[in-house]
Amino acid sequence: MLAAAVAVAAAVATAAVQAAPNPAAYPTMDKIPAAVASWSARVLNNIPALPVNAKQLPNPDWSADVTTCRAGAGKVWGISYDDGPSQYTDDLLAQLKSRNLKATFFVIGSRVLANPAVLQRVHAAGHQIGIHTWSHPALTTISNDQVVAEIVYTARIIKEVIGVTPKFMRPPFGDIDERVRAILKNMGLTVVTWNVDSGDSAGSLNVAAQFRQYAASNSGPVISLEHDLFQSAEAQAASALDAILAGGYTIQPVDACTGITPSYDESFWSLVDGTTIASSSSAAASSTTAAAKPTTAASATSAASSTPTQRSSNGAISVTTTSVAALSALVAGVASFFIGTVVV
Ligand SMILES: [Zn+2]
């Protein structure tokens, strides 16, 4: 394990962009990672001593977060998709390309490990990438150390795969409080939630109709929430785009619509582990980009599977694989990922 992790770190240092990251260097898919003391030591300063919640907050206060595009933007619609990359993401990329649109993708670290080439295509197509944690927990329900690990491992796999480190992050379920916000702020991250929820993760099949009605009756800026993890949600994305455009809105990624730049910030690494990484070029495919961070994580466990997964609209999980072991690990992980709550 340690040797493998060191080998990965060495490989990353010589070539920032990795087509196939080594799962042994990362935590288990869809499981909350173990704390990494060195990261916690640097990040966990002046964190409010709020309790760890038993459940996610029903109505989190987002008044300190970015919920929509810049004031006065008018009919500008920041479009965002969460929980990928998945086997459906390529179709969404095609739909966006055919309309000459750019979007923001808040990605799950363990799904980046499973689908690195998909994330590379998303980034290469010019879309913005944001952090959406490693295993998708409600962040107010986990410890300070766990919040740090969720974020840093996700930043690490993104850096390894596309060569840049996102500045934007979205907390799963929008679950955030002053404790979690302080941790994220100490890592230099900009928290983005939304002001229009498509409801696709709750099973809505009327996203286009909802967006059409909203666009026709509103004139203010929007950041919307959709998903590209499930077929039932992704299949609605194209008609939803057309509905927004028909309503006279201009569609932009979140960075453009908020005017908050840069989208990527390598100073993240100096904040979390004391290592300064030079800014990567905008061309992430360049082999000359700066070395990706990743300290060796002795606590990392292997097991992430690259097995493609699918979840139907009725919640059933189907997996195409020839490996029984991979299937078992994956089903256990996916099940824990979604149990008891709506995916957001
Ligand atoms: Zn989510």
Q: What confidence tens digit (pLDDT) does each residue in 276-315 have?
A: 654 433 333 333 333 334 333 333 333 333 333 332 332 2
Active site residue 127: no
Sign of CA dihedral 327, 135, 121, 86: positive
Options 30, 65, 82, 83, the catalytic residue: 82
Options 227, 228, 255, 273, the catalytic residue: 227
The closest of 277, 243, 272, 344 to 36, measured between CA atoms, is 272
> 49-84, pLDDT tens digit by residue?
999 999 999 999 999 999 999 999 999 999 999 999
Secondary structure string (H, E, C) spanning the chain: CHHHHHHHHHHHHHCCCCCCCCHHHCCCCCCCCCCCHHHHHHHCCCCCCCCCCCCCCCCCCCCCCECCCCCCCCCEEECEEECCCCCCHHHHHHHHHHCCCCCEEEECHHHHHHCHHHHHHHHHCCCEEEECCCCCCCHHHCCHHHHHHHHHHHHHHHHHHHCCCECEECCHHHCCCHHHHHHHHHCCCEEECCCEECCHHHCCCCHHHHHHHHHHHCCCCEEEEEECCCHHHHCCHHHHHHHHHHCCCEEECHHHHHCCCCCECCCHHHHHHCCCCCCCCCCCCCCCCCCCCCCCCCCCCCCCCCCCEEECCCCCEEECCCCHHHHHHHHHHHHHHHCCCCCC
Taking a C-beta distance cutoff of 8 angstroms, is the pair 188, 265 a contact?
A: yes
**Positions in the chain whose pLDDT score sits under 70:** 1-16, 18-19, 276-344
Say what the pLDDT of residue 316 is: 29
Taking a C-beta distance cutoff of 8 angstroms, is the pair 263, 106 a contact?
A: no
* All structural domains of the chain: 2-304 (3.20.20.370)
Q: Describe the crossing of helices 89-98 and 237-246 by its angle, rounded to 10 degrees.
A: 30
Residues 6+ apart with CB under 8 A from 322: none
Active site residue 242: no
CA of 4 to the centre of ligand 1 (A): 30
Number of Cβ atoms within 10 Å of the Cβ of 226: 26
Taking a C-beta distance cutoff of 8 angstroms, is the pair 219, 69 a contact?
A: no
Q: Which two tokens stand for residue 167?
A: 């500045």
Say what the pLDDT of residue 18 is: 66
Question: How many residues does this entry show for the chain?
Answer: 344
Chain position carrying tokens 């993401």:
89
Specify the pairing of strand 309-311 against strand 190-191: unpaired
The closest of 255, 263, 295, 294 to 280, measured between CA atoms, is 263
CA of 13 to the centre of ligand 1 (A): 31
CA of 340 to the centre of ligand 1 (A): 14
CA of 132 to the centre of ligand 1 (A): 7
Specify the pairing of strand 222-227 against strand 76-78: parallel
CA of 242 to the centre of ligand 1 (A): 23
* Phi, psi dihedral angles at 201 (to 5 degrees): -75, -15
d(C-alpha 155, C-alpha 95), whole Å: 27
